[in-house]
Amino acid sequence: MKVFTSLPFEDHRKRLLYLKIMYFVGSLMSLFYIYRFSYAFAAPQYNHILVPLFVTILLGPPLLWYRFKLYAHAAVLLLLSLVFVMIMLIHLTGGLFAPGIYWLAVVPLATAILFGTRGAISGYFCVAATFTVFWLNHNMQTGPNLIPSPEVFREELILNLIVFIGFTSFTTHVYLRNEAAYTQNLREKHNDVENLLRVLLHDIANTLSSMTLQLIRAKEEQSTGGNELEKMERAVQEINNLLNQVRHLKSVKDGKAKLPLRPMSLAKILNDIYENAEALAAPKGIKLSLDMSRDKMLVNAEKTILGNVVLLNIISNAVKFSHPGDRIDIRVFTKEQVVSIVIQDYGVGIPPEILENLFNIACQTNRAGTHGEKGTGYGMPLVKEYIQMLGGSIEVTSAETVTDSHPQGTKVTLQLPLAE
């Protein structure tokens, strides 16, 4: 038992479907051949072995997997019982030349599906040992053959062949479908982990930039260094918050926790990040303009996600692709039960081929800023993902030249539902 239960069994649940297929097919075949042996073959003397085995197959595995959740034990009991019944039936109907001899090919297949490589090896040994015994019985002419006539042999051969083909075809189809779904699930989890790492690489970089600037100012103006060091302390706290949020988001993705959304003042979040945004814009001499009502504008959000991951990301992009001395307009207004945040820059704009795939994390959308600033191309896909997690939406329009309907530059419009 240790060999089987020590295997990575995906909590033994992933294999439950295959276990059920084998259970139903094995139960029906066992019941069918108990009937055949009693009437068609006129050999009821073997029922004292076949009937208890059938009862074990019928009741044992469901009791173990439904009542006690012992999936590995249920699989072992079912396979041992079915293999014993199969070998016994093949032995009684001619051994090496029985019409159902090819059913032995299912043994390593079944053990491999349920228990992996070690299960397959066990299945190979079982088949090899069975063939050896049948070969010895044939050479010694000691094996029985309860099939009464060649006509019955042909019937058995055709019946076994039809059931065998149907069973293997259906099982293979189910296996391939489930493996495809499992592979897709692994890809999604892999992408989730990558996205969380990109949060660290992309968003913490913004906070570190602000922190570095405050450190330079503190060194240059030691007389007023206390205020700058306080700003640095806040930046460090924001980094710590981001790290904690990434851990929590990983738990949310894994279904182990819920995103801690609660009504928060959008005005306060914007004011909190405005200083960091100005620090990002200052080296290029870019002016920020914030037009916002005095209402709190409560939204269901998480401060770090909305402030650092979403808003600061967008403003950082606007700064990156603006020319020195430009301005960036930020307007916030409400309409009915929706608050809109519009961030408009007047920089170089976004080429159409990049704009089309801006939110596609699989596409290459990174490019250098107006001062050669590096980018990863992961920021906007992350922004969209988190805005959707907050129940909102995002729209981006851009023009590389001035048009009648749009100024040159990029406009990002975020919409979030107001908290009730």
pLDDT tens string 226-269: 566 666 666 666 666 566 666 666 666 666 667 778 899 999 99
**pLDDT score of 6 more than 50:** no
pLDDT of the residue at 10: 45
**pLDDT score of 199 more than 90:** no
pLDDT of the residue at 367: 84
**pLDDT score of 3 more than 60:** no
pLDDT band of 203, cuts 50, 70, 90:
low
pLDDT band of 413, cuts 50, 70, 90:
very high
Q: Name the average pLDDT for the chain.
A: 83
The continuous run of DSSP H or E covering 77 comes out as: helix 71-92
**pLDDT score of 352 more than 80:** yes
What DSSP line would sit under 152-166, residue for residue?
HHHHHHHHHHHHHHH
pLDDT band of 195, cuts 50, 70, 90:
low
CA dist 137 to 37, 90, 91, 130, 416, Å?
A: 21, 12, 9, 11, 79
- Could you tell me how many residues make up the chain? 420
Residue 29 sits at φ, ψ, to 5 deg, of: -65, -40
pLDDT of the residue at 40: 80
| Cα angle 182, 185, 189; round to 5 | 140
d(CA 322, CA 136): 86
Question: Residues 130-148: what's their mean pLDDT?
Answer: 90
pLDDT of the residue at 187: 81
d(CA 95, CA 32): 19
pLDDT of the residue at 1: 38
Which of 105-109, 177-181, 264-268, 272-276 is the least confident region? 177-181
- Single out the residue of 334, 328, 344, 360 nearest to residue 399, CA to CA: 344
Question: Residues 109-126: what's their mean pLDDT?
Answer: 89
pLDDT of the residue at 336: 87
pLDDT band of 4, cuts 50, 70, 90:
very low
Give the ranges where 221-365 is alpha helix by DSSP (H): 225-253, 266-281, 303-304, 312-320, 352-356
Name the residue with higher pLDDT: 159 or 365: 159
pLDDT of the residue at 14: 62
* Proportion of the chain above pLDDT 70, given as a percent: 80
| Cα angle 281, 285, 287; round to 5 | 65
pLDDT digits (tens, 9 = 90+) for 397-409: 999 888 777 789 9
Question: Residues 127-142: what's their mean pLDDT?
Answer: 92
- Single out the residue of 186, 189, 413, 389 nearest to residue 300, CA to CA: 389
pLDDT digits (tens, 9 = 90+) for 47-90: 889 899 999 999 999 998 888 878 888 889 999 999 999 999 99
Give the ranges where 254-350 is alpha helix by DSSP (H): 266-281, 303-304, 312-320
pLDDT of the residue at 7: 39
pLDDT band of 324, cuts 50, 70, 90:
very high
